[in-house]
Amino acid sequence: MPSSTSSSDGALALTRGRLRPGAPDRYARQTAADRPGIAQPVPERPVPEQPWGKILLGAALAFVVLMAGWEAYWRAYGVTPGINNSSGLWAMQRRRIDTGEGDATVIVGSSRPFFDIQLPVWERLDGRRPIQLAFEGTSPLAFVEDLAGDPHFTGRLIIGIDPQVFFQGYGLHVDALAYTRKESPSQRIGQWLSMHLIEPHFAFDDPDFALETVLARQPWPPRPGKPWLSQVRRLADHEADRNTYLWSKVADDPQYRALARSIWHERFAPALDPPPEKLRKTIQEQIDRTAKAVAKLRARGVQVLFLRSPSDGEYLAYERRLFPRAKTWDALLAASGAPGIHFEDYPELQGYYLPEWSHMTRAEAERYTVALYGAIQRDFWGPHAPAAAPAQQGTAGH
pLDDT tens-digit series, residues 34-87: 667 777 777 778 878 889 899 999 999 999 999 999 999 999 999 999 999 999
- Residue 387 binned pLDDT confidence (cut-offs 50, 70, 90): low
pLDDT, tens digit (0-9, with 9 covering 90-100), for 216-226: 888 778 778 77
Q: CA 357 to CA 365: how far, in whole Å?
A: 14
Looking at residue 30, its pLDDT comes to 61
Looking at residue 371, its pLDDT comes to 98
Closest listed residue to residue 109, CA positions, set 152, 154, 173: 173
DSSP for 144-211 reads HHHHHT-TT--SEEEEE--HHHHTTT-BTTTHHHHHHHH--HHHHHHHHHIIIIITTT-GGGSGGGSH
- Residue 29 binned pLDDT confidence (cut-offs 50, 70, 90): low
264 and 317 Cβ atoms separated by less than 8 Å: no
- Residue 2 binned pLDDT confidence (cut-offs 50, 70, 90): very low
Looking at residue 33, its pLDDT comes to 66
The average pLDDT across 191-196 equals 96
Looking at residue 28, its pLDDT comes to 53
The average pLDDT across 20-35 equals 56
Q: What is the mean pLDDT of the chain?
A: 89
| This prediction's pTM | 0.84
Domain ranges (residues) in the chain = 106-173+245-381
Domain 106-173+245-381: which CATH class?
Answer: alpha beta
Looking at residue 4, its pLDDT comes to 45
More confident: 357 or 219: 357
